[in-house]
Amino acid sequence: MPKTAQIFQTPKGFHDILPQDQKYWERLRKVVRTLAAEYGFKRIDSPIAEDSGLFSKTLGLSSDIVEKQTFTFKTKGGDSLTLRPEGTAGVMRAYIEHGLSVMPQPLKLFYFGPMFRYEQPQSGRYRQFYQFGFEVIGESDPVIDAQLIKVFYNIYSELGIKGLTVQINSIGCKVCRPGYRSLLKDYYRNRVKKLCSDCRRRFKENPLRLLDCKDEKCQLFKSQAPHTVDHLCKECHDHFKSVLEFLDELELPYNLNPFLVRGLDYYTKTVFEIWPDSAQTQVAALGAGGRFDDFIEVLGGKSTPAMGAAGGVERTVNLMKVQEIKVPSAGIRPKIFLIQLGDRAKKKSLVLFEEFRKAGLAPAEAFSKQSIKAQLRIADKIGTQISLILGQKEVMDGNIILREMSSGVQEIIPLEKILNEVKKRLKK
Ligand code: AMP
């Protein structure tokens, strides 16, 4: 290699998903797909880049995400695009753009894909990370909230994750939240000087976020702050009460968490997070969501209630590893190995491979290897039940050798009969 060659690495906060990790990803994708189908969610894929205005309008200009965490760029044509920091905005844009409100409501949609946030990378925090998300559009009934929380809980428990808790709160709506917000500001007003620098900013721009500050300095003030649930309007109060009753009915344990406010401005009423066992991981939420009844209207659609949540894939995969959860390996495990010796046999084997593959029995092979010993060793390692051996002589005679790997017994079989013979033996 020339001395000046540059060794490239993934950009900060970006990461590869290596072959040995794919089995965890595949398992998670499968559980998400299965539960989505069982609960009647249809898949939607929106692009990873959107008009920048979509996010500033919906996430709130003062939210941490829009303020400092977006990857925004100008196209050559002069448009400002943003790599999506979350999935809901794109899905709701698609809902309006394609007139999906004409479909039977509530419309249940799910997605799975990469998100981008310009964050300081740390454990469980990346700049490109994957989320799966579920959205229920067009229904305000609290049963929707409870069932969606259950779906999320089920995803993690289906994966075998232990030690989960559901954290839940209600942060009110545009009727009751302004009153609560000024109450909170009144409470913090003569304490502002003692808060951390982030909280001093939050006090001005997004006072609800004062409640989820993790800084040591702010904890005492936080613990005595007024709670959202004590200042809900009747509608929000009744809604929250029903959500909890439905969760009780489902026997889903939850923790009423007055400090759960969520980072995004668009939430109304119910907010929730699913937490892993804190002893095992430093990251807080595996998944999170809530109701966002004003979102579609803010985007210029007709007023439509909605509820949704998203789960982080990397955090979940990391936890599956920490908890040593067993997952089947991704890909197919071949039952047959195709061994070839000599040029003519190699050519014939290529064709035979295709025949077996079309019949749904793709064999393992090592076409680039020459010696029978090397090929048998690989077959042994993979643990195939049968090896098929094709040498020059067999090609000339129109035969192939079938070797039962456990016993080492070999038989010569006419080539045209081999597929059926293998099928018969695999059935046994
Ligand atoms: P949010 O969209 O902020 O509500 O986050 C929902 C879930 O996505 C979180 O609970 C995490 O599991 C995951 N998540 C959010 N931000 C990141 C990140 N920077 N890196 C990895 N996972 C993330």
Ligand 1, atom 8: closest residue by C-alpha: 312
CA 141 to chain CA mean position, Å: 26
User: Which pLDDT score, from 0 to 100, does residue 428 have?
Assistant: 79
CA–CA separation, 227 and 147 (whole Å): 25
Domain count, the chain: 2
Within this chain, do residues 251 and 377 fall inside the same structural domain, yes or no? no
- Among residues 291, 322, 353, the one where a domain terminates is 322
The residue range of the domain holding 97 is 19-176+232-322
CA–CA separation, 165 and 152 (whole Å): 11
Ligand 1 atom closest to residue 124's alpha carbon, by position in its atom list: 21
Domain annotation covers residue 345:
yes
Choose which residue among 14, 84, 131, 318 to substitute to test ligand 1 binding: the one with the highest number of ligand atoms within 8 A of its C-beta: 131
pTM: 0.91
Within this chain, do residues 254 and 342 fall inside the same structural domain, yes or no? no
For the chain, give the mean pLDDT: 93
CATH code of the domain covering residue 90 = 3.30.930.10
Residue 42: exposure state from Cβ atoms within 10 A (0-12, 13-18, ≥19): exposed
Domain annotation covers residue 331:
no
- Ligand 1 geometric centre to CA of 61 (Å): 19
Does the C-beta of 288 come closer than 6 Å to ligand 1? Answer: yes
**Which strand (E) or helix (H) includes residue 324?**
none
Average pLDDT over residues 216-237: 95
Domain annotation covers residue 222:
no
Within this chain, do residues 318 and 377 fall inside the same structural domain, yes or no? no
Residue 227 CA: distances (Å) to CA of 181, 208, 409 = 10, 10, 76
Task: Check whether 280 has a pLDDT greater than 90.
Answer: no
Within this chain, do residues 238 and 386 fall inside the same structural domain, yes or no? no
- Among residues 290, 322, 354, the one where a domain terminates is 322
- Among residues 273, 296, 322, the one where a domain terminates is 322
Domain annotation covers residue 221:
no
For 336, list phi and psi in degrees, rounded to 5.
-125, 145
Ligand 1, atom 3: closest residue by C-alpha: 263
Task: Check whether 69 has a pLDDT greater than 60.
Answer: yes
Q: Where are the beta strands (DSSP E) in 138-244?
A: 165-170
| Structure confidence at residue 2 as a pLDDT band (50, 70, 90) | low
User: Which pLDDT score, from 0 to 100, does residue 366 have?
Assistant: 97
CATH code of the domain covering residue 397 = 3.40.50.800
User: Which pLDDT score, from 0 to 100, does residue 263 have?
Assistant: 67
- Ligand 1 geometric centre to CA of 315 (Å): 8
| Structure confidence at residue 122 as a pLDDT band (50, 70, 90) | confident
Within this chain, do residues 318 and 341 fall inside the same structural domain, yes or no? no
Q: Is the Cβ–Cβ distance between 245 and 238 less than 8 Å?
A: no
Within this chain, do residues 278 and 340 fall inside the same structural domain, yes or no? no
Domain annotation covers residue 312:
yes
Domain annotation covers residue 209:
no
Radius of gyration of the chain (CA): 28
Tell me 78's DSSP state: S
Q: Which of 260, 258, 293 is closest to 275 using CA atoms?
A: 260
Q: Which of 366, 364, 361, 362 is closest to 341 using CA atoms?
A: 366
Ligand 1 atom closest to residue 131's alpha carbon, by position in its atom list: 8
Amino acid identity for residue 76 in this structure: K
Ligand 1, atom 13: closest residue by C-alpha: 312
User: Which pLDDT score, from 0 to 100, does residue 62 have?
Assistant: 54
Average pLDDT over residues 2-6: 76
User: Which pLDDT score, from 0 to 100, does residue 57 have?
Assistant: 86
Ligand 1, atom 17: closest residue by C-alpha: 125
pLDDT tens-digit readout, 142-160? 999 999 999 999 999 999 9
Within this chain, do residues 151 and 96 fall inside the same structural domain, yes or no? yes
- Ligand 1 geometric centre to CA of 311 (Å): 7
CA 196 to chain CA mean position, Å: 33
pLDDT tens-digit readout, 323-371? 999 998 877 889 999 999 999 999 999 999 999 999 999 999 999 999 9
- Ligand 1 geometric centre to CA of 380 (Å): 43
Within this chain, do residues 400 and 296 fall inside the same structural domain, yes or no? no
Q: Is the Cβ–Cβ distance between 112 and 42 less than 8 Å?
A: no
Does the C-beta of 229 come closer than 6 Å to ligand 1? Answer: no
Q: What is the three-class DSSP state of 74?
A: strand
User: Which pLDDT score, from 0 to 100, does residue 59 have?
Assistant: 77
Average pLDDT over residues 258-287: 83
The answer to which of 30-44, 145-159, 201-215 has the lowest mean pLDDT is 201-215
Pick the residue with more confidence: 251 or 4? 251
Average pLDDT over residues 372-389: 95
Average pLDDT over residues 303-320: 96
Within this chain, do residues 310 and 392 fall inside the same structural domain, yes or no? no
Ligand 1, atom 20: closest residue by C-alpha: 125
Within this chain, do residues 79 and 166 fall inside the same structural domain, yes or no? yes
Domain annotation covers residue 372:
yes
Within this chain, do residues 276 and 411 fall inside the same structural domain, yes or no? no
- How large is the greatest C-alpha to C-alpha distance in the chain, in angstroms? 96
Amino acid identity for residue 287 in this structure: G
Within this chain, do residues 38 and 117 fall inside the same structural domain, yes or no? yes
Domain annotation covers residue 85:
yes
User: Which pLDDT score, from 0 to 100, does residue 121 have?
Assistant: 85
The answer to which of 47-56, 153-162, 274-283 has the lowest mean pLDDT is 274-283
User: Which pLDDT score, from 0 to 100, does residue 376 have?
Assistant: 94
- Ligand 1 geometric centre to CA of 418 (Å): 53
